[in-house]
Each structure stands twice: as structure tokens, then as C-alpha cells.
Amino acid sequence: MIDPGTRRGIRLLFSLLVGYRREAILSTVSAFVWMVMVIVGPYLTKLVIDRAIDGNRRDLLFPLVGAVLAAGVIKALGVGGRRYFAFLLSYRAETDLRNRIFEHIQRLEFTYHDETPTGELMSRASSDLSQVRLVYAMLPITIANVAMFVVVVAVMLSIDVTLGAIVSLAVPLLLYIANTYARRVIEIATDVQQKLADNTAVIAEAIGGIRVVKSYGQEAQETAKVHLAAIGIYERSMELIKNRAIFIPLFELVAPLATAVILGMGGLRVIEGALTPGEFYQFAEYMVILNFPLRLTGWFFAEIPRASAAGGRVLELLKTAPEITDPKQPVDIPPGPGDIRFSDVYFQYPDGSPVLDGFDLHVPGGRSVAVVGATGSGKTTVAYLLARFYDVTGGKVLLDGVDVRSVRLGDLRNEVAVVFEETFLFSASIRDNIAFGNPDASDQQVRLAARLAQAHEFITETANGYDSMIGERGYSLSGGQRQRIALARAVLRDPRVLILDDATSSVDAVTEDEIRDALKTVMAGRTTIIIAHRPSTLLLADQVIFIEEGKVVASGTHMDLLERIPRYGAVLASSEVV
Amino acid sequence: MYARFGSGEGRSEGTGELLKKAASYGTGLGWLAFGALVATIIATVTRLAGPAYVRQGLDAVGIADRQALFRSVWWFVGALVLQYISQAISQYWVSGVGEKYLADLRVQAFRHLIDLDVDFFSRSKAGVLVSRLTSDIEALTQFVKEGAINVVTSVLTVIGVTIAMFLIDVSLALAVLALMPVLLAVSVVFRIYADRAYEQVREHIGRVLGAIQEGISGVRVVQAYTQEQRQRIEFGRVNERYFDANIAAAKAISAYFPAVDFLRTAGLALILVVGGQRVLDGDMTFGALVAFLLYLNWFFEPIVQISNLYNLLQAALAALSKLLGILDRQPAVPAPTSPIDLPTVAGRLSFESVRFAYDPTVPILKGIDLDIVAGERIAIVGETGSGKSTLAKLAVRFYDPSSGSIRLDDVELSSVSFEDLRRGVSLVPQEGFLFAGTLRDNIRYARPDATDDEIWLVCETLGIADWVRSLPEELDTEVRERGSRFSSGERQLVALGRALLAGPSVIVLDEATSNLDPETEAVVEAALATLLEGRTAIVIAHRLATAERADRVVVMDDGEIVEVGHHADLIVANGPYARLNAVWQAAGGASPPDGVR
């Protein structure tokens, strides 16, 4: 009945629960206290009715009502404890898991992130975790509820076997109906969610492409798309509503229907003297009490497959081992000028497509090399192998004579700074962005780095200077300005090797002009690898290598290659934009 | 005005006014809503009748009258059948009316938004606009779906139960009602505390999601600078604050519900003590006491419900107010009230003393005079911020000039109907935006009724038919699906095909700046030449070659035209264009070898 995937998910959910034993036990114990009092309450009321009122014992009235109140106090405490500890358990588990996910994501290598969409990782850390949390929050009360069903049925049978048996049949029946309903609703609701997401996509697309929409006056066409999406949502939602209209009144019908049955059958037995009026009340009250727990339990079991699937996805992510880690016995990088050697390097993507195919390169310390190649020729791979964002599949990469895989990642990346093609700035102050790699850097050091990167001037022109916030809600910088902040961030570490990965490709010619000056100053005295295709940037390098099909096919100065290698000119021209 | 959208704040209108405006989007739903209300009233009344039959039955038991007992039971069952039917109808109708309303609102709100001017879109954040039409409507949905029916039912139930209790026994009813102020006080205190707690929760979940998002998109930088540890610690702090906010809310809930639960027990105790004595005194029947006990279950629940719904209502009102912020906005570029017919457009476009400013203190265009004859090709060059893009947008009436006039074939642009205008003048945006759907849908975007023959003709003319045939499903290829994602050159080609099929007399083109491989580049160039043939063209040029090929180059600087003329003449004149040309040349370094371009 339960498929193996779900069973595995459930096992995983339970294995995680062990860490929160204390909260789980406290909540379940409180839930049991609550449950017992829920059952005792109507019994005490029965005593009041039968003994004090029906039995005409005024003296018993106050003590027995006192007992009802006392049970009420204990029940309230049970409810409070059950809720509080269940919240504590579920939020603690969610928070801890989210920390673990975040930490894990940070450690997974570039190739993993290349292939995994951001949205997917986001939903691991948000919606999947909510699913898991919900099940944890519901677990204590569900355990108590199941126990409650058993006890209530036993109590009813003990009061009156016939009546008890009839009424007890309602329990599994209701549980079945509640579970059926919940499964249907969950299925349709998931579908409605998907339709809502589709609708959002249509709207986002129309707004993103508003200039095309307006250029061709196609507002009506876009409205028709939204109309279609809205009807889709409407129709599916109406199905949901139909199910609710059938089932919810049904749930509400059960308790009074049972009361009517009890009234008829029980009334006769009261007349016959087989049942007391208090017991009649007790029966009716139990049906009212059972109603909501039955629905909740039905719903809980309907949620289990989804939650265990979500939990399974989360744990799968956490089990994905980072492939690029510190070596077991790391060596120190010896002092050196930043001499780089690629020796017979092979690299292929996880899917097997080859990128570098016997790649050799030697860059003496302090020299600069520009790497030119067509899209997909492996330029960026060269840079990433050096900083160990990727690991070679064959051969080795040496920095000042040691294999980059034999040193600590922190040490390596401290000496090899990369400025990426797409500048990423954090939503933080300009200062914090520059000091990202060295949080302890002094203001003076930050300013010096900014000056080197030709960024100091425009930073001081912003409203709050180095304290100006950037990012979505902050100051918006131009592409060239962002690029120079990234450059300052790199030089603040004073690395032996600087890698500029297509850092000037996405800016216009005038901005590139500004960045070029900055590059000149930061490159001085540092081994630099420049990945670029603009002639003006290429001229900054001492040497240009041209790679095709994973190998170096030519090297020399820019002018030299332009003359000798026709393909070189063609590759450059294809990306040249005036 | 704009700040309102940026900050996402609501408007300061009263709740009543908001609701009235909201209701105006639900025209034609009035009778349905009335029917739903009637069904809800019947459902509530029949439900409340239950304990009354219990009382009759029990009183019958008291005097051992079997027939009266069964009569009560059958009435009870009959009432339950009616209750089920009316409640099902009520559920279905109330929610159905709500869903219909929401479906209409989704479409109407979108129609209104999409008709607003381009200026509004460029000044608003796309994400904010999308969330107005999605998550804000969802907030309304929450209330319409779960709130509306529960509010009506809860209010009716409280009223009904109160009446029923007074009918049975006044003094007992008063005793139970005495608990009401306590319950209300507890609920209000909880509401205040919980509101604050939930506001914190919402704020912190936003931060947590933001931090995760940043952690993922910035992961390469984090690893490059080996800051994983610090990121982990900082995220842990943000995450922990979210935990704290949740626990604060949890404490409020964990205190409130037990309190309500205990009040219910207190009510029970009151009924037992007061009612028990009255039964013993013979002032009340036994059945009445049990009926009272059964009513008690329905007395507390609705009040708790209403207290919970208050939250939903507040969220819905906030969302509504933000949504109305958009719906109240009128397009800044209105359709002409009495349009002048322009069935065919020759393609002459003249600007006369055109001035333009988004913000009156910062003029963008400072008096533009330019007469473009039909069939002429104009290249506009100038630095970022010179006003060249604005000029292009005015030419297609994305904006109206602050003063001066723009005429198409001697007719004021603002007097031409949007239909005629869009047929005559098209802007082809640089990025080659593709809509989700097939290649066919994208090419015939401007003319959804175009036949496949027409589309293929366009492809042949542009020289892209072979490329289309090489695609896995030709015109049926989904442009956004994984694996068949188009390159930027291919996207540009589709955009050009779209423009050619639309066939306007005037084309305004914002030239692409992205890199293309040489083969595609050549195809795009050729396709562009075909497209522009015989049409008036205004090209915002980023490439030297484009300027060279134009009939006239218009050089803009700081909102003014500083030079007009043919490329060669302007080079000779050695003015601003010659200087710009020199910068371009320098940035390009050595000219590419012959035959490459």
C-alpha cells in the first residue's frame, strides 16, 4: 500500500526526529494528558448529570463541577504544552535543516551549481522544509488522536455494547472519508498551485516583453492569454470547491447524525432504564469531540507521501558530497612569484563532453597571458582549474611548483583571485563588498584597493561613500562601476595570481576604456590570466595564447597572431562590437 | 506617485471605500451572492435546530413518551438532511461567487495594466508589478475562499446560538454570556500580540529567503574568497532570528488556545451549576439542560474563528489597496478621442521643436527638429544618456513629447488610432524577446491570423528558411524548451521575422550590442538589410558599419542634435561624429582583416 519511496522518506523523517527527542517526547506526553482529559471531561459531566442532578444530590453538585473545572485546567495545560513543544520541535528541526542546507550549498562545487537551477535549491530550503515541518508539528497530536479513537471506542462499548458498536463504526468510516477528501484536495490544490505559477509566468512574460507587446499593439493577445490562465485556475478551483461542498457539510453532519441515532436508540434504553441521561450526553459529546481529530488524522496521512518526498529531496541534497575539498594531508604553498604550469591537462564535464584535451601552458611569475578562443573552447575552464573550481580529469596544474590539489583550498584561493564575467555584488555596503574576502581589512586597505581599481573616485561621489548600500534595494551602479568594485575586491587580497574571466565583455567601449586603466595598475607585478576578445584588452597582456579544441594552437603577441593565424582574427571579429 | 509603487505602500482610503471599489469588479454577481446568503442562513438555522430536537426528545424520554421521542428524532434527521443540502449549496455558491470574482479581477486588472504606458513600466520594478497581479490577488483569494463563508457562518451562528439560549432559559443564557467579555478581552490581547509576532515572522522569512537567494547566486564569489564559514555563520544568525520570531508567535498561540479551551470548560461548569440547580428546583427540564450543553460547543468556536479571520481580512485589504493603486492609474499616453484615419502610411516622420522630460527639472530632449522622408534610413549615434533612445521611443509614441509635435505623414502622432499607428510604425527591440510558445507563434506575434505560407515566405525572404527547416520541429519548435534554447543571434532573427510579417512602413530599431558568431552575424546583417528595404528606418546604432550604411547620421549630445549628415561628410567635417568615430576605432583596435565582416 505504501510505496518504497514513501517508506524510505518516512524512515528518513524519523531518523531526523531523533535529534529532537526532548521536544518530541514533551509534546507527545502533553498531547496524551490533553487526550485523557478530553475523555475524562464528558465522564465527569455525566457524573454531574446522573449523580447530582438526576440523583437529586445537591451536595454533590459543587464538588463534581469542581472536578470538571480541575480537569479543564489540566486539559488546557495539556493543549498549551502540546502546541508549544510541537512548534518548538518543528521550527527547531526546520531551522537546523535550513542551516545545513545552506552550508551544504555553499560547499558544493561549481559543476553542481552549473547544472542546478537556483529555483530548485530555493524550494529545497523553503517549500520542501515547510512540508517536513508540518508533519513534525502534527506528529504528537496525531499519535494522541489515534490513541483517543481506541480509548473512546472502548469507553463507548463499555457503556453500551449495541449503541457503542453502532457509533464506533463511524470512526473508521469517517477516517476513511477524511483521508479520501484530503487526498483529493491535496491533488487538486497542487494542480491549482501549478496553474497559478503558469499564470504568473504569463504575466511576468507580458511585463518583461512589454516593449514588444506595445510595438505591435498586441495588448489584446496578452490579455487573452491571461484570460485563458484565469479560466484554468477558475475551473480547477471550482473542482476543489465542489469537493469541499460535498465533504465539509458531511463532516459536520456526522456528530449530529450520531446524536440523533443515540437520541432515538438511547432514548428508548433510557426509558427502559438501560442507559442513564448522563451517559446519553457522554455519547453525544464524544461524537462532537472525535469529529475534528478524525479529520485532522485523515489529513495527516494524506500529507505523509508529499512530506516524505520533500524530506527525501532535502536529504538527497545533503547527501551530495562536495567533490572539491581540502586534501587529507595538505602542504603549504611555498613562497614564489606565482609561476603557473598546466601539464598535459585533461578536463571533461560530468556528462562526458571533453573540454581540455592535453593542454600545456607555462606562465612565469609576474607575466600576463591572454587566452583567446571561441565560445566553448575551454578558456574559462583554464581559469577555473587553476583556482580549483573544477578539478582536472587528467594531468596536473601547478602553482609555484606544487599541485593545486595538494594545498588547502583557502590557501590556494587566497593566492589566486578571480574576477568573474558576471559581477556579483552582495546587498551590503560598498566597503563590505570590497572587503568580502578580508573582513578584517582596515578602511585604509579598502581605500587603497579601490584606488588601485580606479573605483575610489566614483565611490566617494555616491551618497554615503563607502557606506553606500548596493544591491536590489540600494544604490544602482553601472556595469563598469560594478566591475571595478569586483576588481578592488580581488586586489585587496594581494594575490600572486589574478584571473580576469571575460571581465570586460559585457560593457561598452567607453566603459571598457575606464576599466582598462584600472587593469593596468592592478596587473603590475602579478601573474595575470586574461580571458578576453577585445583587442584593446588583449594588448594589455605580454603574450596571447589561442586555444581550439582543448589545446593551445598558437601563441605570440596579439599583432603577431592576427597576422599568422586567420582563425584567430575570425574568432575575435565574431565578438567584436564597436 | 512612483514612490508608491516602489515602496509597495497602500493607499490611505477608508475600508468602506476600498470595498466599494473592489465590489465594482464583481458586477453581475449580486443575485448569486444573495442566493448564497439565503442558503447560508438556512444551513445555520437548521444546524441550530438540532439541540432543540434533542431537548424535545429528552423531555419525551423524561415522561416515557416513545412516540414523541421518535417524532423528535425524525424531525431531527429531516433537519439534518436540509442542513446538509443547504450547507453544500452555500459552500459551493459562496466560494463559486468568490472564484468568479477573482477570475474576472485577474483579467480586468491585467487588461488595465497592459494598457498603461511604457513609461510606467520602465519606471516600475517588473517584480513588483507581477506580484500585484499574482500574490496580491492570492491574498484576496485567501479571504474570499476561506474568509467570506466563515465570517458569514460564524456571525450567523453566534447570533443564532445567543437567541436559542435565551429562548431556553434567560438566567442561564446570561450566565454564559457573562463569559463573553472575558473571551473578547483574551482574543483582543492575543490578536494584538499575534499581529506583531506575525509581522516579525513575515519580515524575517523575507530576509531568510533573500539570504538563501543571495547565497546561491553568489556562491562562486563566496568560494573564490573561501568565505563559506562566514556565510554559514551569517546565515545562521538570520535563520535564528526567523526561528525566534516563529517561536514568539507560537507562544501566543500556545497561550491563547488553552485559554479559550478553559473558558469553554468554565462555561460548562456554569451551566452545570446554575442549570443543575434550576433542574433540581424544577424550573427547567432535563432536556433543556442538555440542549444548553450542546449549544455551548457552537458558542465559542465562531468567536475564535472571527478573531482568526481578522488577519485574513487585513491582509486582503492591504493587497486590495495596493492593487487599486494600479487600477486607478490612467495611461499617460491616451488613445485619441477622435482619431484621424490613416489606412496607409507612406512613412514620412517629422519632429518639430520636440522637448521631453520625465522629470520637469531634468530635460532629456531640448528641442529636436528632424524631418525624415519616406524610405530614408537614419542612424542615430551618441553616448549613453544623449537622448537617442528617448527619441526612438517618442517616434513610436511610447511617450508623448512635453512640447512640440511629431507628425506621421503630416498627421499628429497623438491623433492616430493605436491600431493604425502600430500597423504603420514598429519598434524592433534589440534583445529579440521571445514569448513562450512555438516559433510560429513568435513570428506571427503581430498578426496572429497569418498563414503558414505567409510565415514561410517571410523566412525565405529573410534567408532563414533553411535554419527553420533544420530545427527539430520546424515552426512547431518550442522556443523556450530545454535543449532548443535559441542563441541570441537566432532570437534576433526571429524578432526580425516578426517585424517583416507585421510589415510596418516605419521601423525603429534599437541595434543589438551582444556578441554573435561570424556566420550568424552575416545572416542577421543580411536579414536586417532585407527588412529595412523600402521602409523608413530609424536605427539607434552601436556599430560603425550601421552608421556607415545610413543615408544620414544624426549625432546627439545632451538632448540635442549636434550634427546631421552622411558618414563620409561628417568625417571630413571633423566635428563631434569624427571624434566619436575615433573612440570607436581605438576601442576596436586594429581593423579586422578583410573578408571577416
Are the Cβ atoms of A214 and B118 closer than 8 angstroms? yes
Strand partners, A407: A331
Pairing of strands A368-373, A527-531: parallel
pLDDT of residue B475: 78
DSSP secondary-structure letter at B487?
Answer: P
> Which residues of B fall within a CB distance of 8 Å from A52?
276
The sign of the dihedral angle between the CA atoms of A280, A285, A288, A291 is negative
Average pLDDT over all residues of chain A: 84
Give the chain B residue nearest A212 (alpha carbons): B429
Q: Given CATH 2.40.50.140, say whether it is the number of domain B13-169+307-332.
A: no
- Measured CA to CA, the distance from residue B412 to residue B338 in angstroms comes to 12
pLDDT at A168 over 50: yes
pLDDT at B11 over 70: no
Where residue B352 falls among pLDDT bands split at 50, 70, 90?
confident
Spans of all domains in chain A: 11-319, 340-575
pLDDT at A295 over 70: yes
Tens-digit pLDDT profile for residues B369-390: 888 888 888 888 877 777 777 8
Q: Given CATH 3.90.870.10, say whether it is the number of domain A11-319.
A: no
Give the chain A residue nearest B508 (alpha carbons): A215
Average pLDDT over residues A55-59: 84
Spans of all domains in chain B: 13-169+307-332, 170-283, 349-588
Choice among A83-97, A267-281, A314-328, A563-577 with the minimum mean pLDDT: A563-577
Where residue B584 falls among pLDDT bands split at 50, 70, 90?
low
Are the Cβ atoms of A118 and B592 closer than 8 angstroms? no
Choice among A4-8, A94-98, A224-228, B407-411 with the minimum mean pLDDT: A4-8
DSSP secondary-structure letter at A23?
Answer: H
With an 8 Å Cβ cutoff, is B244 touching chain A?
no
Q: Which residue has the higher pLDDT, B285 or A351?
A: B285
Q: Which residue has the higher pLDDT, A529 or B492?
A: A529
Where residue B180 falls among pLDDT bands split at 50, 70, 90?
confident
pLDDT of residue A504: 65
At residue A123, the 3 state secondary structure works out as helix
pLDDT of residue B589: 36
Give the chain B residue nearest A489 (alpha carbons): B225
Write down the residue that cell numbers 586603466 correspond to.
A517
Close Cβ partners of A207 (under 8 Å, ≥ 6 residues apart)? B113, B121, B126, B129, B130
Q: Which three cell numbers stand for residue B77?
A: 434527521
Q: Which three cell numbers stand for residue B270?
A: 456554569
Residues B43 and B83: beta-carbon distance below 8 Å: yes
- Measured CA to CA, the distance from residue B91 to residue B97 in angstroms comes to 10
Average pLDDT over residues B318-344: 79
Choice among A339-353, A354-368, A459-473, B31-45 with the minimum mean pLDDT: A459-473
Choice among A12-21, A36-45, B403-412, B485-494 with the minimum mean pLDDT: B485-494
Q: Which residue has the higher pLDDT, B206 or A329?
A: A329
At residue B428, the 3 state secondary structure works out as strand
Highest mean pLDDT: which of A466-475, B39-48, B318-327, B339-348? B39-48
Tens-digit pLDDT profile for residues B135-148: 788 878 877 777 77
Average pLDDT over all residues of chain B: 79
Are the Cβ atoms of B80 and A260 closer than 8 angstroms? yes
| ipTM of the prediction | 0.84
- Measured CA to CA, the distance from residue A367 to residue A320 in angstroms comes to 39
> Which residues of B fall within a CB distance of 8 Å from A126?
209, 212
pLDDT at B2 over 60: no
- Measured CA to CA, the distance from residue B123 to residue B119 in angstroms comes to 6
DSSP secondary-structure letter at B593?
Answer: P
pLDDT at B587 over 70: no
Q: Which three cell numbers stand for residue A361?
A: 601552458
Q: How close B215 gets to chain A, by Cα (Å)?
A: 7
Tens-digit pLDDT profile for residues A171-182: 888 888 888 888
pLDDT of residue B520: 66
Torsion of Cα atoms, B43 then B44 then B46 then B47, to 10°: 110
pLDDT at A514 over 80: no
Residue-wise DSSP of B376-407: -EEEEE--TTSSHHHHHHHHTTSS--SEEEEE
Are the Cβ atoms of A264 and B126 closer than 8 angstroms? no
Tens-digit pLDDT profile for residues B431-445: 677 777 788 888 888
Average pLDDT over residues A365-390: 85
Q: Which three cell numbers stand for residue B136?
A: 496580491
pLDDT of residue B60: 85
- Measured CA to CA, the distance from residue B239 to residue B227 in angstroms comes to 18
Residues A348 and A354: beta-carbon distance below 8 Å: yes
pLDDT at A533 over 60: yes
> Which residues of A fall within a CB distance of 8 Å from B250?
83-84, 87-88, 91
Pairing of strands A354-363, A416-419: unpaired
First-residue to last-residue Cα distance in chain A: 67
Pairing of strands B506-510, B425-428: parallel
Are the Cβ atoms of A574 and B583 closer than 8 angstroms? no
Are the Cβ atoms of B215 and A277 closer than 8 angstroms? no
pLDDT of residue B5: 34
Tens-digit pLDDT profile for residues B54-101: 888 888 887 888 888 888 889 999 999 998 999 888 888 878 888 888
Q: List b or e across B461-479, with b for residues whose CB sees 16 or more CB atoms inside 10 angstroms.
A: bbbbbeebeeeeebbebbb
Tens-digit pLDDT profile for residues A474-504: 566 777 788 888 888 888 888 899 998 876 6
DSSP secondary-structure letter at B575?
Answer: S
Highest mean pLDDT: which of A307-311, A329-333, B28-32? A329-333
With an 8 Å Cβ cutoff, is B53 touching chain A?
yes
The fold of B349-588 is: Rossmann fold (3.40.50)
Tens-digit pLDDT profile for residues A121-139: 888 888 888 888 988 999 9
Give the chain B residue nearest A226 (alpha carbons): B107
Of B50, B69, B118, the CB nearest to A210: B118
Choice among A153-162, A207-216, B261-270 with the minimum mean pLDDT: A207-216
pLDDT of residue B177: 87
Listed in order, strand segments (DSSP E) in B498-573 are 506-510, 536-540, 552-557, 560-565
Within a 13 Å sphere around the CA of B475, how many CA atoms are in the beta-carbon half?
Answer: 17
- In chain A, the percentage of residues whose pLDDT exceeds 70 is 95
Residues A413 and A406: beta-carbon distance below 8 Å: no
Choice among A216-230, B28-42, B471-485 with the minimum mean pLDDT: B471-485
pLDDT of residue B518: 56
- Measured CA to CA, the distance from residue A440 to residue A437 in angstroms comes to 9
Q: Which three cell numbers stand for residue A54?
A: 438526576
Helix crossing, A443-452 with A479-492: angle to 10°? Answer: 120
CATH number of A340-575: 3.40.50.300
> Which residues of B fall within a CB distance of 8 Å from A48?
272, 276
Q: Which helix (H) or strand (E) holds A545?
A: strand A543-548
> Which residues of B fall within a CB distance of 8 Å from A252?
47, 83, 87
Average pLDDT over residues B543-550: 74
First-residue to last-residue Cα distance in chain B: 48
> Which residues of B fall within a CB distance of 8 Å from A414?
226
Average pLDDT over residues A256-270: 83
pLDDT at A379 over 90: no
Torsion of Cα atoms, B496 then B499 then B501 then B507, to 10°: -120
φ, ψ for residue A504, nearest 5 deg: -115, 10
Average pLDDT over residues A160-189: 85
Residues making up chain A, counted from first to last: 578
pLDDT of residue A249: 87
- Measured CA to CA, the distance from residue B173 to residue B160 in angstroms comes to 13
Where residue B488 falls among pLDDT bands split at 50, 70, 90?
low
> Which residues of B fall within a CB distance of 8 Å from A100?
none
CA dist A380 → A529, A557, B216, B470 (Å): 10, 20, 20, 30
Torsion of Cα atoms, A561 then A567 then A573 then A575, to 10°: -110
Where residue B27 falls among pLDDT bands split at 50, 70, 90?
low
Q: Do domains A11-319 and A340-575 have the same CATH topology?
A: no
Choice among A315-319, A545-549, B49-53, B118-122 with the minimum mean pLDDT: B118-122
Residue A408: other Cβ atoms inside 10 A? 16
pLDDT at A212 over 70: yes
Average pLDDT over residues B32-52: 84
Q: Which three cell numbers stand for residue A455?
A: 573605483
Give the residue from A288, A30, A295, A286 showing the smallest Cα distance to A152.
A286
pLDDT of residue B482: 40
Q: How close B322 gets to chain A, by Cα (Å)?
A: 17
- Measured CA to CA, the distance from residue B523 to residue B488 in angstroms comes to 13
Tens-digit pLDDT profile for residues A240-259: 889 988 888 888 888 888 88
Give the residue from B7, B11, B2, B3 showing the smallest Cα distance to B325.
B11
pLDDT of residue B430: 61
